[in-house]
């Protein structure tokens, strides 16, 4: 069994022509083969900040951007910090943080990106493995500077061109063959 935690998945244009996951970029933040998986959509900014939710609670972090994390529990706000070392040798996700924990992380010398997500993407036991076998998702390596660029709505295109260019060309073709 492969552990998918830490991977970034791109929706395969051959499998998702429309709907919730069209051109989605999802970071797998938890994967337990016997329980299921959890991911967060990285390229669905909501043009909101934590201040839009509760200006008193977040103190100095009220400008943290909020993204649509996925279709599951969309009313749940998940505050995250993504920390990576100077040479990108490690990456850590922190989920469900409080302001004191954020302050401690920001005092370190490593790079930290703060984001909040409404909802998440969830897979039941074995579901992600099955979708990977069917090529619904195209894995790409984690590149923190690119992946966590603020409000990067073009992230899917950028990563597809870098890692799966033939799939992008397929996606650029019209559904109607007479238009090609």
Phi-psi region for residue 166, left (φ > 0), alpha (ψ -120 to 50) or beta? alpha
Residue among 49, 21, 161 at smallest CA distance from 116:
49
Task: Write the pLDDT tens digit of every residue in 115-144.
Answer: 889 999 999 999 999 999 999 999 998 777
Q: Assign 4 to helix, strand or coil.
A: coil
- Residue 2 lies inside a defined structural domain of this protein: no
Task: Write the pLDDT tens digit of every residue in 17-62.
Answer: 668 899 999 999 899 988 999 999 999 999 999 888 776 677 777 8
- Residue 1 lies inside a defined structural domain of this protein: no
- Residue 129 lies inside a defined structural domain of this protein: yes
- Residue 142 lies inside a defined structural domain of this protein: yes
Residue among 83, 77, 76 at smallest CA distance from 65:
77
pLDDT at 88: 54
Task: Write the pLDDT tens digit of every residue in 73-89.
Answer: 998 888 888 777 666 55
Range of the domain at 38: 8-179
Count of domains for the chain: 1
Domain at 175, CATH number: 3.40.1740.10
- Predicted model pTM: 0.84
β-partners of residue 82 are 93, 113
């Amino acid at each position: 069994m492969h552990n998918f935690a830490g991977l970034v998945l791109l929706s395969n244009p051959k499998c998702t022509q429309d709907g919730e996951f069209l051109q989605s970029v999802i970071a797998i933040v938890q994967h337990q083969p016997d329980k299921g998986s959890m991911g967060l959509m990285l390229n669905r900014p909501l043009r909101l900040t934590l201040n839009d939710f509760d200006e008193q609670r977040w103190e100095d972090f009220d400008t943290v951007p909020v993204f649509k994390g996925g279709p599951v529990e969309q009313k749940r706000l998940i505050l995250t910090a993504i920390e990576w070392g100077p040479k990108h040798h490690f990456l850590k996700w922190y989920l469900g943080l409080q302001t004191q924990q954020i302050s401690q992380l920001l005092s370190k010398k490593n790079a930290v990106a703060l984001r909040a997500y409404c909802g998440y993407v969830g897979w039941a036991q074995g579901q992600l493995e099955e979708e990977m076998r069917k090529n619904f998702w195209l894995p790409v390596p984690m590149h923190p500077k690119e992946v966590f660029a603020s409000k990067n709505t073009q992230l899917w295109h950028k990563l597809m061109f870098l890692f799966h260019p033939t799939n992008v060309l397929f996606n650029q073709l019209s559904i109607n063959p007479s238009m090609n």
